[in-house]
Structure 1
């Protein structure tokens, strides 16, 4: 599908044109129905056009469509920040700022880290993804396609192996690499922050090793380094909890938010320790559209729906269905390409591997097409684009979830 007026540097996964959606189902302009296991790449934890979110958008649009908060504060921004900071499961006083996106939240977190520490170096992780803006590009733990043809990137940035049971990198592997960085690459006293995804998204839903996370927290405390948790994809219930860092038994200093924060309306945030958010001078943070009233209203409606009980129930239901199906598929040797299940909670990936253990990237490409033709939209991930990323709305009806898994099962059997 070619769109002559749209940059050809934008990569399209599914060559269709969508016209409408309802919860976990979408329809294209030809009227064909699809079950959506993409969810706007993790944006629609509450599904397409959640009634509470739609009502909030409509009501707010009749009152105030926009005002720049740094010109004159408005009530939706104030109310959302009060609710949002209370929603963050940490023990310290929290404050924050709203942004237009997750990448913008990351950019502002880097500014905050520099201002608070007086240092510039950042340590990120292989396989990580933090955005497509110039500074966030250098944080990404993958060159192609993000860092190609753009020249020297802002830094300094150093990368470590990401330890996870899902990628066979151990805690000790990462600790040895960390020791090397500080002995060969950078003085520990020049490091402003570590930035890490509690569950990596783009890399294929890899869950961070708990022991390593606790070691990292202690290291940061000992050397006055900030720990930034990127919860842009893993947050707002994706793992069955409010945020994925809770399963690690640590508290980050700054937390990046986005994607499912506002039910599909563009919004992001950086939140964390109040003393850090107050470090930069007046005017150092802000933005014309950041915290738009309509986006704030959508986020408030989202928080109304996301009770702990509801998040846990949704997460457990979806996890049980995916884990159960995958185990059954493995038991009956459904496909020679079927690999392991990655991730935690309802944030799950399925590896496709050749019998020799190498990534089955071509088979995943084939699967995307087979599933789409059968009425199921899937999202690829992984360094070799060989992991199916399952991002169905948490609110998906059980029957629709089973229907989608039935389609996936049938398509996996057809891979060659």
Structure 2
């Protein structure tokens, strides 16, 4: 018995020692130490690193500025490359067609082919000759690459929320920021190509950045994020993710079939047919749900603790919402760069400084009106916030009159 206790104590000491060394290695990178020196230190004292250790480190060093995150992203990948211990899994549902990870990896293969063959080749041709024909080839590639938004959106809205339920927060902040860097660069390249003014150097710089970042993100997904998810998620969670992926869409390629796990997943219970008595009437739960889903607006409600409790599910949602956001804090449902706006607004609502706030933006082919309402009870106590989102293009187009009799 004493031998077992001694072994456990020794394992704990070894684990603690590794954590100290790993923290120092990360700190050295953050402080600007030479990458080769840091990697040599890592190879000598650590050698191999587990997904759990990476997750813990990313969580501890998660509160970084955009500039810091951008600078350190490539360095972290260089340190870890070839050193991540693979998770042994003899039964691999993630290799079955239709499984979310199988689909993510299919998309990554297509993305890799797009940036490593077509985009690189066309960029080389453009460097030699920035003719109209070569600009058009790059525009075609970049237009295809815009589809990456669906890949990243599924990751952010389906994978990240479940990771958070297991206390894994590093990827939520860090990877989402890098996703946004890539999205912005692709949009910037497209804008500069469609209105090309001869600034060849800037375009080459941006497209090279896109190629490098997309390739690096593929590596981080397949060697860190996906194994992390596989190691934690239950079959039922994967079933839910697979079902909700269709709503967001797929990047460059779609799954060839619907994933059918060996064990039949537990079906979600049908909504109860009970009734709700309100001040101005009585509705069944089914009637209430249908009523809310038929409104020509998107509704989302968060409670007094900033936790998402409900969203309507109309036919044409403006912004992607999946059931994975239920129970998630609203701060983690927004890109890191806009979280401060959300927090300021909620603080004003809770303090009673404001009752409403409106925004309006151009989003794809829509003109979107976003309204926030502080929800208070009969005593004025704040109980949550209602988000109301509507495509107002059809309303703006209204002219003249149309009476009910006509």
* TM-score, normalised with respect to structure 1: 0.28
Q: Which structure shows the higher helix fraction?
A: 2
Higher relative contact order (CA 8 A, sep 6+): 1
Query: Which protein is bigger by CA-based radius of gyration?
Result: 2
* TM-score, normalised with respect to structure 2: 0.28
Q: Which structure shows the higher strand fraction?
A: 1
